[in-house]
Structure 1
């Protein structure tokens, strides 16, 4: 906590890397989120929050208008899809509507995280690939420029030969 409170970037990264996930509370995570001011801090925090199993914060953070707090929601979805191998596919796929709902947020760090979350879900396994690719194709046809960018980029990656071979 002292490292985080120092307000020094490197100290905050060290705080995130050395914090014990099992001891981190949702209230502490919310407090840290109030200080988010860069993508690297957010992405490191997302891994910690996922390790702490603070999934209840995802919807809360997604609803927050602050750019880096909203990014945290989608970085957490991505980290969950990638790192929680034993998590059921239905739990992972349940985040697709949230991705769709925020696909029009054109702020750079949010749109990139929304795209990252969609791609991570689609690359997880065969069961998640189809629903994620369907959403990506839907977004690719959107009249919203940001949603269209997210969709097209995800379709390109989720349709790649290398990924398709891995998922077979």
Structure 2
């Protein structure tokens, strides 16, 4: 034991012991830091996976929403174009009311050619007669004939009167 106490009295041994103690504490601190950092890395990797999953889910939802909006926009553009074409077509065609009024006026003019003496009273009478004839001809065979050939339908209603063969104009 005396040898051991002599060895402990040496300054080298004190320096070595102090160095080993410092190395032990540094090593222990390094190990604990490594363990703590590895736990932090695992926690952060899990958070990163969760965030990536959330981001992927959010991007899918946004993509589906954008796709549905684009589909709806495409549908609305097609409907808009169809409505624009329909509107242009309808504006270029005369309406049913205008066609009806034209047919009534045509029948009235034919009657005026027959009854020319007093223009105004004859015109009013002819207009009323044409309107009543048109309303009466809305049903049955007269309507079918008028749809096929409008001028013949009114001449048939007048009993063939208003034929332009006798009229010099």
Q: TM-score, structure 1 length as denominator?
A: 0.20
Of the two, which has the highest radius of gyration?
2
> What TM-score do the two structures reach when normalised by structure 2?
0.20
